Amino acid sequence: ETQRAEVVGELRDNLAPLAREAAAIGVTLAVEPLNRYETSVLNTVAQSLDALAPLLGAGVGLALDTYHLNIEEKRPADAVRAAGAAIAHVQVCGSDRGAVGDDHTDWPEMLRALDDAGYRGVLGLESFTGENATIAVAASVWRPLAASQDDLAARSIAHLRALGA
Ligand SMILES: [Mn+2]
């Protein structure tokens, strides 16, 4: 925990000048909690809200990615509600990084949670292709997630639209 406090302090110190600059020019930096296999610093919404508390507002918010929420949060939709007004950006994909709707995520509930949080921004579809070796290794894509990337995107959009997103 001592080490965590040091790391969080360093994060705040280094982010503060960027946050001021971002706020001054009307840009919001969106900090994304990542799953435990990618970082040990910010895994959950609660950790992120705590670590970034002094900086949240104009200039700094959270980027929430349903892939990471599914791994780290006990109840992803509740984590979205807890993030509330701090949400600056949202990335969506299936729980396996595949198409939205092909997975076990409760998408109607996730969209309700985003509404409850007051989020009105874009839903950015984030997936990866195994066809690029560097990306495949970085994102652990060891098998195709869909027939094609276009197919993955099209099915995701169709599913979200059918739910009213
Ligand atoms: Mn992401």
Catalytic option among 6, 73, 126, 131: 126
**Each residue's pLDDT tens digit, 92-116:** 999 999 999 999 999 999 999 999 9
**Each residue's pLDDT tens digit, 130-145:** 888 998 998 999 999 9
State pTM to two decimals: 0.95
Distance 35 CA to ligand 1 centre (A): 10
Distance 32 CA to ligand 1 centre (A): 7
Residue 9 has pLDDT above 90, yes or no: yes
| 17: its two tokens | 């000048």
The fold of the 2-162 domain, in CATH, is TIM Barrel (3.20.20)
Distance 76 CA to ligand 1 centre (A): 15
Within 8 A by CB and 6+ apart from 28, the residues are: 22, 58, 59, 60, 61, 88
Distance 23 CA to ligand 1 centre (A): 23
For the chain, give every domain's residue range: 2-162
Within 8 A by CB and 6+ apart from 80, the residues are: 45, 64, 69, 87, 110, 113, 114, 116, 117, 119
Give pLDDT, residue 1: 78
E strand or H helix at 125, and its extent?
strand 123-125
Q: Is 32 a catalytic residue?
A: yes
**Each residue's pLDDT tens digit, 12-49:** 999 999 999 999 999 999 999 999 999 999 999 999 99
Catalytic option among 1, 21, 32, 109: 32
Q: How far apart are CA 68 and CA 65, in angstroms?
A: 6
